[in-house]
Amino acid sequence: MRALIQRVTQASVTVDGRVIGQTGPGLLILVCAMQGDEDSAADKLAARVAKLRIFRDEQGKMNRSLVDTGGGALVISQFTLAADTRSGNRPGFSAAAPPAEGEALYRRFAEALGALGPQVATGQFGAEMQVALINDGPVTIWLDSAERG
């Protein structure tokens, strides 16, 4: 699985003009399940995100995790993280997991993250969503459970 993580002061997701998920200080997490990913990939990625030390401590250093700060998370499905842009001008997305598998792994990730302590809100899988955020720092981190190149 792949994730693009943004430290935020706030974030929200809107579908059809209605806010369906939001968080205060914490993380906005864009997630993509890849072909061949299994439940263990979602669990591994959730644990890594929860423990990633990207929040400031008392000295202003990035030394605290989402769990340490008690922050929340907004988890959004984002199949375009699987984009292959190596040739041509149109990205290919065949490396993304099929929709049914992708949705199951997306839900598994959100549940696994919530089980580790953070309050987790989600978007709507497969929907056209508008995501609003205030990036804090800015801090943006790319993670891949398989550590693909």
Give the residue numbers marked as catalytic.
Answer: 78-80
What's the residue count for the chain?
149
Q: What share of the chain in percent tops pLDDT 70?
A: 98
The identity of residue 24, as a single letter, is G
Class of domain 2-144 (CATH, top level) = alpha beta
**What pLDDT sits at residue 149?**
41
Domain range summary for the chain, segments of one domain joined by +: 2-144
- Residue 2's CB is within 10 A of a number of other CB atoms, namely 23
- The tokens describing 55, both together, are 């929040």
The secondary element (H helix, E strand) that includes residue 84 is: none
- Residue 61's CB is within 10 A of a number of other CB atoms, namely 10
Beta bridge partners of 8: 26, 135
- Residue 104's CB is within 10 A of a number of other CB atoms, namely 16
- The per-residue pLDDT for range 16-63, each reduced to its tens digit, is 999 999 999 999 999 999 999 999 999 999 999 999 999 999 999 999
Residue for token digits 């302590």? Answer: 117
Give yes or no for residue 148 having a pLDDT over 50: no
